[in-house]
Amino acid sequence: MEEDGGVDPRQKPFFGEITGENVEDNGPVEVESLCMDCERNGKTRLLLTKIPMFKEVVVSSFHCPHCGASNSSIQSGAAMEPKGVKYKFSVQHPEDLNRLIVKADTATVCVPELDFEIPPSTNEGSITTIESILLKAAVGLEKEQPVRKALNPDLAAKLDMFIQQLRDCVELKQKFTFVIDDPAGNSYVENKLAPMADPSLNVEHYSRSEQQDKQLGANITTQSETCVLHIPSLDFECSHSSVGGRFTTVEGMLSEMKMQLQRSNPFLGDSVQLSHLTLFLEKLSEIINGKKLDVGIILDDPAGNSFIQVSTYVKNIMSFWRRRAFNC
């Protein structure tokens, strides 16, 4: 029996740790999904788990039985961290190449000694090792070398030298520094001396810049079905009956509201006499496009289920946050 106000001890955790004893209890979930190569259905296996000394992750693996296509990726199952993180690891011994790396899809990997960088847009998130990352980069560069040698021999020769430098790092013929920089704070380099500090591993937490927050979509808004939206400068109010609950950004919320107003009034256009609604939509577009700033937005939710994330980069503006309790 579940005790009043307590938690049922038999309830399974949503994110279970990977151990040899709970493989069946916290096994992967299989779902059908479309293969982008042959456009037939394949299978995606999803595993929700927790990495020791780190956080919750969602590991996915896809395989198509028809064409043989397969891929795998990892996504963070936890919220975006308040600060970004940068790991600097000095690779000096062969066993260092086997360090576990959790690379989120928002992370940049670089090796300063080689002036080598892997931007976040080129790869999905993954659980891997330092050796695997370098080998994958070398193999990827080698694939197009025959074409480059035919079209641009000089570039191909330079890349051959660089590929050899990558392989020298894998064979540890030269020591190097492995750096992973993740503004979302969801990447990780294994510390084999945990909970003690690793002298070869430097971890730096930093405040994100305004540009990084925009790239990550950090201005997250949660608007519930009981929320009323006010924009005082436009003398506008959108009741909870007009919009459904959604998890979005401030820009996305306003854009969806604009589209909904346009769908509800299909006769808006150049051939129609300029109306108050047309003027309102123009002003709303200026806010969405950032042409009009210093606009107040109020989410009034009697259920208390709405939320606007605070941007951490605003330093020169004093923000006043007021929570008002009232009886429904």
Distances (CA, A) of 276 to 239, 273, 286: 19, 10, 16
Domain 84-209: CATH superfamily is ZPR1, A/B domain (2.60.120.1040)
Rounded CA-CA distance 272/279 in Å is 12
Cα 37 from chain centroid (whole Å):
25
Matching fold, domains 84-209 and 219-266+274-308: yes
CATH topology for 219-266+274-308 is: Jelly Rolls (2.60.120)
Q: Is the peptide bond before 153 cis (omega within 30 degrees of 0)?
A: no
Type of residue found at 176: F
Q: Is it the case that residue 6 has pLDDT exceeding 50?
A: no
> Which of the pair, 149 or 278, is modelled with greater confidence?
149
Categorize the per-residue pLDDT at 246 as very low, low, confident or very high, splitting at 50, 70 and 90. low
Q: Is it the case that residue 299 has pLDDT exceeding 90?
A: no
Rounded CA-CA distance 103/188 in Å is 7
Q: What is the pLDDT of residues 148-159, one digit of tens each?
A: 999 999 999 999
pLDDT reported for residue 25: 54
CATH 2.20.25.420 fits 16-76, yes or no: yes
Q: Is it the case that residue 19 has pLDDT exceeding 50?
A: no
> Which of the pair, 9 or 234, is modelled with greater confidence?
234
Q: Is it the case that residue 282 has pLDDT exceeding 90?
A: no
Report the pLDDT averaged over residues 175-189.
91
pLDDT reported for residue 86: 95
E strand segments, 9-155: 16-17, 29-34, 41-50, 56-63, 70-76, 84-91, 100-103, 108-111, 116-118, 126-129
Q: What is the pLDDT of residues 253-272, one digit of tens each?
A: 788 778 777 665 555 554 44
Q: What is the domain partition of the chain in residue ranges?
A: 16-76, 84-209, 219-266+274-308
Q: Is it the case that residue 164 has pLDDT exceeding 90?
A: yes
Rounded CA-CA distance 179/170 in Å is 15
Q: Is it the case that residue 11 has pLDDT exceeding 60?
A: no
